[in-house]
Structure 1
Amino acid sequence: MSNNALQEILELDGEERYDYFLDAVVDERDIWILVNADNQFLKMVAEEDGVAYLPVWPGSEFAEEYAAGTDGLSPKAVSMPDFFRKWVPGLTRDGIEVGVFPGADEELWITAPEELKKDLQEVMSSAF
């Protein structure tokens, strides 16, 4: 993906990035997270309301762009079946939301893991 295309997508608003994320993940079948050298996933806490969330991206290039300038974070793919089977129940149990596709702005779509799973399943069923 060219830098221009990458920037254009990153500059979409939160809702547009959410829609892009759903379509891209259904096409690629992977969700991207950031992990540190110990393979621990990046967890963020929203400043305004203290909600803990897992930031996720539709491709490695977006996660890399987000991690630029940080030490020791690298993109890691989680297959959609693994995300549904392991991550959604684990995040739900731990009270961690999902921050879908952080971009260039401060706007972020934060949703419950089960809600994201449902939205992805809806896009998958309408794609076939």
Structure 2
Amino acid sequence: MSSDELTPIIEMDGEERYDYFLSQVGEEREIWILVNNDNRFLKIVSDDGDVEYLPVWPASEFATEYAKGADDLSPRSISLPDFFRKWVPGLTKDGLDVGVFPGLDKTVWITEAEELKRDLQDAMSDF
């Protein structure tokens, strides 16, 4: 995907990016996260420490674009079955939300893992 194709999508507002995320992941059946050199996933904590979330993207290109300037982050794919079976219970147990498709402007749609799972299952019924 070229930067000309990425830019209009990245510049969507949070709700539009959430809907785009659902349709892309529903079709491709994978979610993208960022991991560091130690294979630890990126977790974002708000300045006041009240909110912690796992940022996720619908394609590696978006994750790569978000990580520009961070030398130790690289995209990693998670299959949707693995996300549902392993990640959703783990995130829920750890009290970690999911930040769906953070924009370069740092806006993000934050939701609970179980709610994202339900939304993705609804989106997949369209395919």
With the length of structure 2 as denominator, give the TM-score of the two structures: 0.96
Aligned length: 127
Identical-pair percentage: 65
CA–CA distance in structure 2, aligned partners of residues 19 and 46 of structure 1: 24
In structure 1, the partner of 2:57 is 57
Is the contact made by 1:13 and 1:105 (CA closer than 8 Å) also made in structure 2? no
Q: Name the structure 2 match of 1:34.
A: 34
Moved over 6 A (4+): none
- Counterpart in 2 of 1:66? 66
**For the structure 1 residues 72 and 87, does the alpha-carbon distance in structure 2 shift closer, same or farther, using more than 3 Å as the test?**
same
**What aligned pairs does 1:1-128 form with structure 2 within 5 A after superposition?**
1-47=1-47, 50-127=50-127
The one-character-per-residue Cα deviations of 1:77-106 (angstroms, maximum 9, x if unpaired) are 000000000000000000000000011223
1:18/1:48 Cα in 2 relative to 1: closer, same or farther (>3 Å)? Answer: farther
**Deviation larger for 93-102 or 47-56:** 47-56
RMSD of aligned C-alpha atoms? Answer: 1.1
Gaps of 5+ in 1: none
State the 1:39 CA deviation: 0.6
